[in-house]
Structure 1
């Protein structure tokens, strides 16, 4: 996927690949933690909610409770990554993933009796899910930033997109795990025991991620901001070669020393774009398809085992189209992929809305769900994270990414928590809403998103500076935008 050529001359590709693969375990856990609920949600509903006579709204909030932690984790990620560094923040995320996996699988630990669901146990289950959500929020914000700050400009799109591949791969892995646990088992066993195994399975990749993060370097751009210049230059040299490293280091120091770290020091536009990127990524409805996939397929007439298998098929499609994005993002650019993806998502969601309105359930619904998810995975899935990792200037990146990611998880929570009640009202209106959001996302990209492929993080800062502050050698970048 990353080959030696003139563009990569002097770059230490095995070293870059190794760091990236370890960092993307955070993305894998992001996907694993958010999607594990898809196989467990009906059993959790039966064990903790239905037996206590609680409402559909409580079910929606419980299934989405991890997203509260995601919002918190995203919001504090800027403080953690700016004060402690990208590396230590990701180690903390790994610890939170591990605690959540163990606690969600056995929420009765210490305080409650197994087999006796109470409101207190429901609160404890939600607490552990929120803990995992904080880990997801930290990882979702810091993993792309960490990879983007280490990656050479010509490889940055592909390497940051690998984080999205890891997210989708994590979802695919947990779909297989959930299917394997549930296959051939009775509903009673799943409602008592099976759902616990699903959550506990996350402990293995969480522990691996935490251990391996001790063996990677800190981001050179973070090191430069905290005046650890010698270490920063050593890492840049190991990644890029000595000549390129000195030039990049000079650009980094210039941006760090001459600009304020105030969130608004580069104007409101770049923050506004980051927030809208995040909100549109969620308002198009992707996590409804991911979290509730088995239930959606069951509503189409598939049995329990068949619905789990169809979810695995959807996961394989997601992986294929994410790989397509990785292969094309540094050739075709960010903007064209986003626009094509928005069109595909709109077609898929409007078709599903029409089929729902006429109560047509069958293979056609599955086809349009796949069209929709494939369009997302080759565009908004990976490219949103690429742009968030690169559009913000060095001095404000930690804070600005935290704002964007917190907005993303808030939007995610709103969409996921409202889905069950919206579906009770009207499936056609629900999916039609996501289709409208897909059209609006297309207009947003067309009007507001700059093309960033092949440009260094320091060059991109010129997009947001007043004309009087733009260095002469970077004026063409601004005029092209």
Structure 2
């Protein structure tokens, strides 16, 4: 490693964060392939429903179990995600997750009964739960501070092929096996791609591989980059943490970690209870109950969400996390309020155009959520926890997110039977609380190294 640095010293050195290198772009692409796996796993059940019901003769309740059991697997994967990412490394954890995803897809493709179908779905859920933590953490740890927000948010951008997958394959790929092939492709891309990208330099430093950490950083920043300052900061911060014992779950509840924990868990709870999965999973049913075409409505959602997500990614390292979050949540509040108002007007028979109002509300909600609230909580989660507790903290935050997702997706139909208008007004109220939460507690992390962010979170207490 010393030879590499001395050889590079004869050439002009560039600031380490001057630009994104080809290897950094490749590493990010390989990592976010896991998010495409996530999208396919979630989106698979909708277009494949008619084919699976016909092929295997399942009842609707059996298919409902198949559709929802992945969330249980994801929660198990989330519980273990931090420990596995610390034990195996970020790359090793992604490899491990993809093995479960491939086994799960094959079990679904070859299943002859409901049992193997559920086992396959549970396996893909486990893999997705693990990836949902390790992907944003890996990207945050390999990216320079001036690009970290946009690169980590790319994890959210690539989720939107899921929406396209659900809508446009419902007719073109409604056979079970052909949908499974679509799901295995990104798994194989990530498995192969991981051979060509470096391990996280911060994880290598954490496990005492100092030369490997510097070599990884030099590869990521470019041969002509000056990595001295960044490498020294990682080394100094890691050595300060070596004095601390390995942290368990109960250690996370120390006062010094309180601010990080409240922000990380709070954003995930508010993200889920703001109604995103109610709209994402049941958009078609919402449009139909409001009296609007589900095909037109879901297609319009994709047309709005994809460019807005890209816009949010581009703005994150310019406007900052907090301003983008506040604009995003204000939009979700307005969207939920408009949807609730459309159902209220429909119930009271006061306005014939309430279905159009429901469409407007869903589009405002979807576009606003995609702008910031969809991706930024994951970005912040990957930034605010010190590396000695990042594993256990990340597991807790990810479990909370999946648990919230299950609660909302399970309870939404019951809430809608009680009152569709009341349900969306409740979601709007949660969005209002989220605005206050962001203003009072969420830090701005733009343009700061991970070590600077984590030191400031500790000093907050």
User: Please, what TM-score do these two structures have when normalized by structure 2?
Assistant: 0.87
Equivalent residue number for residue 92 of structure 1? 96
Is 1:432 aligned to 2:425, yes or no?
yes
Query: Alignment partner of 2:160: what SS?
Result: helix
- The change in CA–CA distance for 1:107 and 1:310 in structure 2 (over 3 A counts) is farther
- The change in CA–CA distance for 1:379 and 1:222 in structure 2 (over 3 A counts) is same
Equivalent residue number for residue 291 of structure 1? 281
The structure 2 residue matched to 1:107, chosen from 111, 125, 134, is 111
8 Å CA contact 1:36, 1:175 repeated in 2: no
- The change in CA–CA distance for 1:269 and 1:170 in structure 2 (over 3 A counts) is same
8 Å CA contact 1:350, 1:432 repeated in 2: yes
Equivalent residue number for residue 31 of structure 1? 39
Query: Alignment partner of 1:442: what SS?
Result: helix
Is 1:250 aligned to 2:254, yes or no?
no
Equivalent residue number for residue 23 of structure 2? 15
Equivalent residue number for residue 371 of structure 1? 364
Q: How does 1:193-342 map to 2 (within 5 A)?
A: 194-195=175-176, 197-240=178-221, 241=225, 242-262=227-247, 263-264=251-252, 266-301=256-291, 307-308=294-295, 310-342=297-329
Q: CA deviation at 1:391?
A: 0.8
8 Å CA contact 1:60, 1:416 repeated in 2: no
Q: CA deviation at 1:365?
A: 1.5
Is 1:391 aligned to 2:384, yes or no?
yes
State the distance in 2 between where 1:163 and 1:9 align.
20
Equivalent residue number for residue 472 of structure 1? none
State the distance in 2 between where 1:444 and 1:73 align.
28
Moved more, 82-91 or 292-301: 292-301
- The change in CA–CA distance for 1:272 and 1:328 in structure 2 (over 3 A counts) is same
- The change in CA–CA distance for 1:310 and 1:210 in structure 2 (over 3 A counts) is farther
Structure 2, unpaired ranges of 5+: 1-13, 347-352
Q: CA deviation at 1:277?
A: 1.2
Question: Root-mean-square deviation (CA), in Å?
Answer: 2.5
Q: CA deviation at 1:156?
A: 0.4
Moved more, 247-256 or 25-34: 247-256
Equivalent residue number for residue 137 of structure 1? 129
8 Å CA contact 2:292, 2:356 repeated in 1: no
Moved more, 98-107 or 159-168: 98-107
Equivalent residue number for residue 72 of structure 1? 76
The structure 2 residue matched to 1:457, chosen from 442, 450, 455, is 450
- How many residues are treated as equivalent by the alignment? 433
- The change in CA–CA distance for 1:134 and 1:308 in structure 2 (over 3 A counts) is farther
Is 1:362 aligned to 2:393, yes or no?
no
State the distance in 2 between where 1:48 and 1:255 align.
58
State the distance in 1 between where 2:416 and 2:64 align.
12
Q: CA deviation at 1:180?
A: 2.6
Query: Alignment partner of 1:408: what SS?
Result: helix
- The change in CA–CA distance for 1:395 and 1:74 in structure 2 (over 3 A counts) is same
State the distance in 2 between where 1:310 and 1:324 align.
22
8 Å CA contact 2:321, 2:444 repeated in 1: yes
Equivalent residue number for residue 393 of structure 2? 400
User: Please, what TM-score do these two structures have when normalized by structure 1?
Assistant: 0.83
Equivalent residue number for residue 8 of structure 2? none
Equivalent residue number for residue 166 of structure 1? 158
Structure 1, unpaired ranges of 5+: 1-5, 113-120, 183-193, 467-477
- The change in CA–CA distance for 1:83 and 1:174 in structure 2 (over 3 A counts) is same
Query: Alignment partner of 2:46: what SS?
Result: helix
State the distance in 1 between where 2:60 and 2:457 align.
54
8 Å CA contact 2:46, 2:166 repeated in 1: no
State the distance in 2 between where 1:170 and 1:95 align.
21
8 Å CA contact 1:348, 1:372 repeated in 2: yes
